Structure 1
Amino acid sequence: MKEEPSVQIMQWHNDSEHQQIIDMLMKIPPADRDYDMVSSMGRAYNNLSLYEEALEQFAFIAEQGKTDPLWYFRVGYSYYYMKRYEEAVDVLHTALELDPDDQHSARLLDLGRHKLQKQQKAEARRTISRHQKDLESPPFEGMDLDSFWEDSAYARDQYVSEPPTDELIASVEEELGYKLPAAYIALMKHQNGGIPHRTSFPTDEATSWAEDHIAITGIMGIGRDKSYAICGDLGSPFMIEEWGYPHIGVVICDCPSAGHDVVMLDYRHCGKDGEPEVIHVDQEDDYEITFLASDFETFIRGLVSDEEYDTSEEDKEEDLRKVAEGTFSPLLAELCDNASEVDDLEPTIRSICTRIVQEKGHFSFHADELSHLMYDVQFWLYTHSYPATSRQLYLDTYSQIIAFGGEFGQGGYAPGFISDWLDGRIREGLIIHENGAFRFTDEALSAVIAKFIAEGGVA
Structure 2
Amino acid sequence: MNPVHIEQLNQWHEEDKHQQIVDALLTILEKDRDYETNNRLGRAYNNLGLYEEALHHFELIAEAGQPDPLWHYRVGFALYHLKRYEDAVKALRNADQLNAGDQHTESLLKWSLQKAEKQQREQRRIEAKRKAALESHGTAANQVLLANMPLTDFWEESEYARNSYQSEPPMDDLVISIEEELGYKLPASYITLMKQQNGGIPKNACFPTEEATSWAEDHIAISGIMGIGREKSYSLCGDLGSTFMIEEWGYPDIGVVICDCPSAGHDVVMLDYRACGRDGEPEVIHVDQEDDYEITFLADNFEAFISGLVNEEEYDTSEEDKHAALDKVAHGKFSPLLEELCAAITDVEQLEQKIRRICTQIVEEKGHFSFHADELSYVMYDVQFWLYTKSYPDTSREQYLTIYEKMITFGGEFSLGGYAPSFITDWLDRRLQEGRIVQDNGCLHATNLFVDEVVQQLQSA
TM-score clears 0.5: yes
Amino acid at match of 1:79: L
Q: Gapped runs of 5+ residues in structure 2?
A: 341-345, 389-399, 429-436, 438-451
Say which SS state the counterpart of residue 67 (structure 1) adopts.
Answer: coil
Give the direction of change, closer, same or farther, for the CA distance of 1:45–1:314 in structure 2 (3 Å limit). closer
Amino acid at match of 1:37: T
Amino acid at match of 2:272: D
Say which SS state the counterpart of residue 278 (structure 2) adopts.
Answer: coil
Amino acid at match of 2:220: I
The whole-number CA distance in structure 1 between the counterparts of 2:61 and 2:117 is 30
The whole-number CA distance in structure 1 between the counterparts of 2:124 and 2:177 is 36
Say which SS state the counterpart of residue 272 (structure 1) adopts.
Answer: coil
The whole-number CA distance in structure 1 between the counterparts of 2:242 and 2:140 is 27
- CA deviation map 1:27-64 (0-9, x unaligned): 43332211111112222322332222221221221111
Match of 1:432 in 2: none
The whole-number CA distance in structure 1 between the counterparts of 2:238 and 2:46 is 36
Task: Work out whether residues 127 and 275 of structure 2, in 8 Å CA contact, stay in contact via their aligned partners in 1.
Answer: no
RMSD over aligned CA atoms reads 5.2
The whole-number CA distance in structure 1 between the counterparts of 2:186 and 2:325 is 43
Displacement after TM superposition at 1:71 (Å): 0.8
Q: Gapped runs of 5+ residues in structure 1?
A: 336-340, 380-390, 429-446
Equivalent pairs counted in the alignment come to: 421
Match of 1:143 in 2: 149
The whole-number CA distance in structure 2 between the counterparts of 1:224 and 1:373 is 36
Q: Does 1:88 align with 2:114?
A: no
Match of 1:242 in 2: 248
Say which SS state the counterpart of residue 227 (structure 2) adopts.
Answer: coil
Task: Work out whether residues 126 and 294 of structure 1, in 8 Å CA contact, stay in contact via their aligned partners in 2.
Answer: no
Displacement after TM superposition at 1:65 (Å): 0.9
- CA deviation map 1:406-454 (0-9, x unaligned): xxx88x822888xx89xx9xxx9xxxxxxxxxxxxxxxxxx9xx99997
TM-score by length of 1: 0.70
- CA deviation map 1:58-86 (0-9, x unaligned): 12211111111221121111111112223
Give the direction of change, closer, same or farther, for the CA distance of 1:365–1:126 in structure 2 (3 Å limit). farther
The whole-number CA distance in structure 1 between the counterparts of 2:114 and 2:418 is 18
The whole-number CA distance in structure 2 between the counterparts of 1:323 and 1:17 is 30
Say which SS state the counterpart of residue 47 (structure 1) adopts.
Answer: helix
Task: Work out whether residues 230 and 236 of structure 2, in 8 Å CA contact, stay in contact via their aligned partners in 1.
Answer: yes
Match of 1:167 in 2: 173
The whole-number CA distance in structure 2 between the counterparts of 1:84 and 1:227 is 36
Q: Does 1:220 align with 2:226?
A: yes
Displacement after TM superposition at 1:152 (Å): 3.6
- CA deviation map 1:222-270 (0-9, x unaligned): 2212222211121111222222222222111122233232211222333
Displacement after TM superposition at 1:217 (Å): 1.8
Match of 1:290 in 2: 296
> How do 1:333-412 and structure 2 match up within 5 A?
357-362=363-368, 368=377, 403=412
Amino acid at match of 1:242: E
TM-score by length of 2: 0.70
The whole-number CA distance in structure 1 between the counterparts of 2:148 and 2:158 is 25
Q: Does 1:156 align with 2:162?
A: yes
Task: Work out whether residues 199 and 224 of structure 2, in 8 Å CA contact, stay in contact via their aligned partners in 1.
Answer: yes
Match of 1:259 in 2: 265
The whole-number CA distance in structure 1 between the counterparts of 2:210 and 2:16 is 37
Give the direction of change, closer, same or farther, for the CA distance of 1:186–1:414 in structure 2 (3 Å limit). same
Match of 1:413 in 2: 417
Task: Work out whether residues 384 and 407 of structure 2, in 8 Å CA contact, stay in contact via their aligned partners in 1.
Answer: no
Task: Work out whether residues 319 and 357 of structure 1, in 8 Å CA contact, stay in contact via their aligned partners in 2.
Answer: yes
Task: Work out whether residues 129 and 294 of structure 1, in 8 Å CA contact, stay in contact via their aligned partners in 2.
Answer: no
Say which SS state the counterpart of residue 57 (structure 1) adopts.
Answer: helix
Displacement after TM superposition at 1:94 (Å): 2.8
Displacement after TM superposition at 1:303 (Å): 1.0
Give the direction of change, closer, same or farther, for the CA distance of 1:259–1:315 in structure 2 (3 Å limit). closer
Q: Does 1:178 align with 2:178?
A: no
